[in-house]
Amino acid sequence: MFGIIQVELYNPPVYEIATHNLAKKFRRIFPLGASPVVAVDGVDLRIERGEIYGFLGPNGAGKTTTIKMMLGLVRPSAGSVEIPGGIRARDGRYRLGAVLEGNRNIYFRLTVSENLRYFGMLRGMKPSEIGGRTDELLSFFDLDEKRHATAQTLSRGMQQKLAFAAATIHDPEILLLDEPTLGLDVATARAIQVKLRELAHKHGKAILLTTHQMDLAQAVSDRVGIVNKGKLVAEDTVDGLMGLFKRMAYTFETRTSDIERVGLALSGFEHTISESRRPGLALVTVQLQDSKDVFRLTRALEAQGVIPERLSESVPNLEDVFISFTGEGAEGTNARARGGDVE
Ligand SMILES: Nc1ncnc2c1ncn2[C@@H]1O[C@H](COP(=O)(O)OP(=O)(O)O)[C@@H](O)[C@H]1O
Ligand SMILES: [Mg+2]
């Protein structure tokens, strides 16, 4: 009876940093007359306050070049980088902090606390502020005991944590991290994951991290963008991306001696039977049309006297999604996928 009146409200930008059609071509010196390398090919990103954005792509996809353009270290061939709140906070600190690939952004001959003091001064902090912030970071990163050790004597994991602390000494609102856990041992990588989540979800930081490690991306990202050959080819929440690939499939194991009866039970289902990693067992995957079909499935198995062991829904992981967007013969693009052919 009543019509719905839709009111368009003005939404101010909620993002901390954005790129608009950002592109970079590198000229090639050799061979003579070679066409340029298109490293980044029109990328639009928006990183919001309080979120971790996982920027994924195979080697050479353009991730590092994108970050360097966001930092102003590489000049874009086209497009722009926007930081709506400005690059400097009102108190004069820079709002951006970054850790680039490797850990070259610390001074190996300086001690841990000297590194932090140096980077604090560089970013416009007062000496009195630096002391307090150093204590805070050293305990946050479990580096207290190493305060007076020179950076070169630290383990790789500790150096990475120091690089991280140096990049965040001025408490920036935006963090750009290039492969932050590459080459780290599992424990340190996990510690950094926890810190990242705390920084975004508790302290409201906007974090962009690049990685080609799917497990890291899946564990920490709120949203994921997949970049391939310089273009953003997919972007969504981790669940959203995995949802694109979610087939309604169930797997279970069964004794190899029951295979014949399993075949009879599953005659009305699309299914595959393969070898299980556990000896004497076969792995069965059944495709269902509807989640309610799981009842029909268990009844059919029961009727044949087959007990499905470890019955579970088969969930795709981010790696499956990544391969289908970046690998050869990719399939599974749909309305939510972005990008297209080059030129
Ligand atoms: N300074 C440079 N000069 C020429 N080509 C470059 C330069 N930096 C990167 N490239 C090329 O640009 C492409 C993207 O590189 P990069 O951004 O480092 O990718 P990723 O970080 O995703 O591995 C690659 O083909 C790389 O060889
Ligand atoms: Mg890189």
| 101, 163: one domain | yes
Note the pLDDT of residue 318: 81
Mean pLDDT of the chain: 86
Is residue 2 a part of any domain in this protein? no
Range of the domain at 291: 249-313
Return the bridge partners of 43, or none. Answer: 22
Ligand with an atom nearest the CA of residue 101: 2
Residue 10 has pLDDT above 60, yes or no: yes
Note the pLDDT of residue 13: 59
Contact 178, 145 (CB under 8 A): no
| 155, 302: one domain | no
Return the bridge partners of 306, or none. Answer: none
| 90, 222: one domain | yes
Q: Give the number of other Cβ atoms within 10 Å of residue 279's Cβ.
A: 7
What's 30's DSSP letter?
S
Pocket test for ligand 1, best of 24, 26, 74, 179 (most atoms within 8 A of CB): 26
Ligand with an atom nearest the CA of residue 231: 1
| 273, 159: one domain | no
What's 6's DSSP letter?
P
Residue located nearest, by CA, to atom 12 of ligand 1 = 39
In sequence order, what are the residues at sequence separation of 6 or more whose Cβ sits closer than 8 angstroms to the Cβ of residue 329?
none
Strands (E), 27-144: 37-48, 52-56, 78-82, 96-99
Note the pLDDT of residue 247: 64
Is residue 332 a part of any domain in this protein? no
Residue 335 has pLDDT above 60, yes or no: no
pTM, to two decimals: 0.77
Residue in the block written with tokens 């050869």:
328
pLDDT for 101-159, tens place per residue? Answer: 865 679 999 999 999 999 999 888 888 899 999 999 999 888 999 999 999 999 988 99
| 277, 208: one domain | no
| 179, 223: one domain | yes
* Confidence label for 7 from pLDDT (cuts 50, 70 and 90): low
| 132, 189: one domain | yes
Pocket test for ligand 1, best of 29, 38, 64, 65 (most atoms within 8 A of CB): 65
Residue 343 has pLDDT above 50, yes or no: no
Count how many domains the chain has.
2
CATH number at residue 153: 3.40.50.300
Dist CA 204 CA 49 (whole Å):
6
Quote the ligand 1 centre to 37 CA distance (angstroms).
8
Strands (E), 100-215: 174-178, 206-211
CATH number at residue 258: 3.30.70.120
Angle between helices 127-140 and 156-167 (to 10 degrees): 140
Residue located nearest, by CA, to atom 4 of ligand 1 = 26
